Amino acid sequence: KKVADRYLKREVLGEGTYGVVYKAIDTQMGQTVAIKKIRLGKQKEGVNFTALREIKLLKELKDPNIIELIDAFPHKGNLHLVFEFMETDLEAVIRDRNIFLSPGDIKSYLQMTLKGLAVCHKKWVLHRDMKPNNLLIGSNGQLKLADFGLARIFGSPDRRFTHQMLSIALVIHLFLNAEASVLLTVLNILQGSSDIDQLGKIFAAFGTPSPSQWPDMVYLPDYVEYQHVPAPPLRSLFPMASDDALDLLSKMFTYDPNARISVQQALEHRYFTSAPLPTVPEKLPRPA
Ligand code: ADP
């Protein structure tokens, strides 16, 4: 079945938040693509804006570690977003029991994730939905950030991000959950079944935030005083991690956003230049 003459629709790849994703052939370029069909309509006007925002963001974010938006067009009352086709995603890799990720492999995935994220942050874009199944992996092993449905430009460089708009739970979810999901070994420890469960897991692993580490937390709108639970030593959670890995981890899992390492600084961390070096993407293990 043809979509807008250029694309031949194949099977359904999955159901996303805003609609179905199809595999298709781009007859013009002779390549496989993924088409995200977004229902447009009067029922939910918000969806239009979300979609348009996604388009605008993706067009501005061109990078080897960010999914390429090839085309965008309306067709039969739906908005179609055409993306480069990606073979798998990081969640599938992590969950595959036949795949063993070496420290160099993990380093490589983390480096590619941070490189994509660095481009977002340079353009003042927050991804806001960082998780392993939004990190797509191409046939050459390249990892790319996808699904910017929730991303939003948060102002020009000289304007402060208004944390006040967010409750403490949301702040922690957005920042810590995001970075937690990036680190593969953390996945099992930190994956919660709901936001509250997630928070509980984060607090168990890293202790509860305290005003001594994060002075501004007391200004968060839903802040209430509570009994501080200290963090267990990181080493006890990750007995196999290298010292460099733990050092980077502790800097990324810092509650105070003003004290936390930036993505750019994280990329410059010794972890990425010390042995073992990041595995070249083509050599990363992939699902059979
Ligand atoms: P969600 O909104 O739930 O995060 P998406 O709408 O991004 O999900 O995608 C739904 C499903 O479609 C994904 O789980 C994935 O299997 C598939 N998919 C999305 N984008 C691509 C792509 N570029 N290449 C191949 N498959 C994709």
Cα–Cα distance for residue pair 43/72, rounded to 1 Å = 21
Q: Ligand 1 center to residue 118 CA distance, Å?
A: 22
Q: What is the ipTM of this complex?
A: 0.95
User: pLDDT 10s digit of each residue in the chain, 288 long?
Assistant: 666 789 999 999 998 776 799 999 999 999 999 998 877 655 445 556 666 666 777 777 889 999 988 888 878 878 888 999 999 999 899 889 899 889 999 999 999 999 998 998 888 777 767 788 889 999 999 999 987 654 443 333 333 333 333 333 344 333 443 343 433 344 445 556 666 777 777 788 888 999 999 999 899 888 888 888 899 998 888 888 899 999 998 898 899 989 989 999 999 999 999 999 999 999 999 888
Cα–Cα distance for residue pair 138/198, rounded to 1 Å = 29
What does pTM read for this prediction? 0.82
Probe ligand 1: pick from 7, 9, 12, 13, max atoms within 8 Å of CB?
Answer: 13
Q: Hey, whose CA ends up nearest to atom 13 of ligand 1?
A: 14
- The pLDDT score that the predictor gives to residue 51 is 62
- The pLDDT score that the predictor gives to residue 162 is 36
Cα 145 to the center of its chain, rounded Å: 6
Binding residues for ATP: 37
Q: Ligand 1 center to residue 21 CA distance, Å?
A: 6
Cα–Cα distance for residue pair 25/157, rounded to 1 Å = 40
Q: Ligand 1 center to residue 225 CA distance, Å?
A: 41
- The pLDDT score that the predictor gives to residue 174 is 39
Cα–Cα distance for residue pair 118/264, rounded to 1 Å = 6
Under 8 Å between Cβ of 113 and 106:
no
